[in-house]
Amino acid sequence: MPESLDRRMRRPSSSRLSLAPDEMRRLGYRVVDLLIERIAGLEQSSVWTGAARSETERLLREPAPEEGRAADEVLERAVRDVLAVAGRIDHPRFFAFVPSCPTWPSILGDFLAAGYNVFQGTWLESAGPSQVELVVTDWFRAWLGMPESAGGLLTSGGSAANLLALVTARESLAEPDAAGAGVLYLSDQGHGSLVRAARIMGIPPSRMRTVATDGSYRLDVRALAETLASDRSAGLTPLCVCANAGSTNTGSIDPLPEIADVCARERVWLHVDGAYGGFAALTAEGWRLLHGIERADSVALDPHKWLFQPYEAGCLIVRDARALGRAFRQGGDYLQDVQLGLEQVNFADRGLQLTRSFRALKVWISIQVLGLRAFREAVAEGMELARRAEAHIRNATHLELLAPASLGVVCYRYRDPVMALAEEELERLNERIQDEIVSSGYAMLSSTRLRGRYALRLCILNYHSTWDDVRGVLERVEETGRRLDAPLLGQRPG
Ligand SMILES: *Cc1c(COP(=O)(O)O)cnc(C)c1O
């Protein structure tokens, strides 16, 4: 660094909050080293480290220190006692919930955005960053095949995107009088964040309809049409139909074209929750599977899932971007300087947050550096691994497929083909298998319930995961099941 720059950074104030440039640089490099060490050692580390509240209290409970401590010691302690006591969501054998594995350029993007202290609420305060958010959301729009009139914003995640979508749907109702009485339609595989959004919006359970799904966990379009018709004839106003483009449970994709037909006929807002699955549109196969998504009035996406971005990064794309402004724009005398004309977008007018971080930067940097092709290949690879997992499960004598691979998800369980265990026994056994594998640190697994049946669930989205990782987990489930099953059977009467 040129000396003049160093001199400029040595501010005249003597605030205790500022560090000398050399110290800043040293600590910054230290953090980079810590992160590289972590990422390089991921595979060798345990996939999950949990702790009871009593332990974490003992480690961390203390009054805020009045005087500062040595930064290296604080960093070391943060790594050892805080950051290490958690799941390693980007471990190649983390297959629970919905994993995430950010790329290095995207991590640097978050670092840069924080360091530049971007206020991404108004154009006045962030013209360049706001333009990048326009560009990135427009990339997403194009990937979904939505018209150029569509636009959106980045959010904290899919939950926020879903909430904003439902509010936008309500504020866009042709009959504003009905805004307080609209009915919401979800499939029985709909994400819990939609139910929570409804609660936040004050939509009571009496105005929510859970529409059944078929044998493949896809929304039953006829049941939807009937429910809509019966609500209409009861004088109710449909508010929004929520369809899944990758349900969290099974990865199922609702029949989007048929649902879009129903919504067009009934003039009802169609929201597609693609938080987990939407970025499959980057691949040829995913694009085919998601056909119809381009007809949605709004789509929720989660770049922090299948676009390999660090938390937090969600996104809402709305077919008519102006609907967002109508739903959320709000004045404030102290903001009178920020209206710079229609061309300039104030992202604060499109959602919940006034102060917003520059989430688009990480997406933009990572795609610029790595190229979109690398992302397409990584998504396709996840889908391919899920398909191979399904084939492996079908061929394994002691595994039972409960839902075929869809996008990156497969559901299955251990089951002895000969011993007819009762459902509760199977559940207890599979729970124990999962507990044992998780506590061994080898892999992180999670379960779900499909039509009441306990299911183990693999969600494969990590570009570090290989077939050996997936196969290793499936083999371990089978082995563990056989071992646990034997004494269990011994205890059985007769
Ligand atoms: C993850 C997920 C959400 C919630 O998104 P967050 O980013 O966790 O807030 C909503 N819907 C689906 C289908 C999801 O997979």
pLDDT by residue (tens digit) across 393-450? 999 999 999 999 999 999 999 999 998 899 999 999 999 999 999 999 999 999 999 9
Within 40-198, strands assigned E span 151-155, 182-187
Give the mean pLDDT of the chain.
94
| Residue 493: Cβ within 10 Å count | 3
CA–CA separation, 467 and 197 (whole Å): 37
388: which 2 tokens? 């191979």
Which residue has tokens 């929520």? 242
- Predicted confidence at residue 337, as pLDDT, reads 76
Tell me how far the alpha carbon of residue 61 lies from the centroid of ligand 1, in angstroms: 32
- Please check whether residue 179 is in contact with residue 170, taking contact to mean a CB–CB distance below 8 angstroms: yes
Tell me how far the alpha carbon of residue 494 lies from the centroid of ligand 1, in angstroms: 47
Amino acid, single-letter form, for residue 397:
T
What number of residues does the chain have? 494
Tell me the β-bridge partners of 449: 454
CA–CA separation, 75 and 125 (whole Å): 32
- Predicted confidence at residue 494, as pLDDT, reads 40
Amino acid, single-letter form, for residue 71:
A
Tell me the β-bridge partners of 240: 184, 269
CA–CA separation, 300 and 246 (whole Å): 11
Amino acid, single-letter form, for residue 296:
A
- Please check whether residue 465 is in contact with residue 408, taking contact to mean a CB–CB distance below 8 angstroms: no
263: which 2 tokens? 């919504």
Name the stretches of the chain with pLDDT < 50.
493-494
CA–CA separation, 99 and 58 (whole Å): 29
- Predicted confidence at residue 294, as pLDDT, reads 98
Tell me how far the alpha carbon of residue 154 lies from the centroid of ligand 1, in angstroms: 14
- Predicted confidence at residue 273, as pLDDT, reads 98
Tell me how far the alpha carbon of residue 316 lies from the centroid of ligand 1, in angstroms: 12
Bond prior to 312 in cis (omega within 30° of 0)? yes
The residue whose CB lies within 8 Å of the most ligand 1 atoms, and thus the one to mutate among 163, 164, 191, 461, is 191
Element (H, E) at 113: helix 104-116
Q: Whose C-alpha lies nearest to ligand 1, atom 3?
A: 158
- Predicted confidence at residue 175, as pLDDT, reads 79
Identify the residues whose C-beta falls under 6 Å from ligand 1.
98, 157-159, 162, 191, 193, 248, 273, 275-276, 302, 314
139 CB contacts (<8 Å, ≥6 apart)? 367
- Please check whether residue 86 is in contact with residue 444, taking contact to mean a CB–CB distance below 8 angstroms: no
Can you give the pTM of this predicted structure? 0.95
Sheet holding 314-318, edge to edge: 151-155, 314-318, 298-301, 269-274, 237-244, 182-187, 208-211
Tell me how far the alpha carbon of residue 4 lies from the centroid of ligand 1, in angstroms: 48
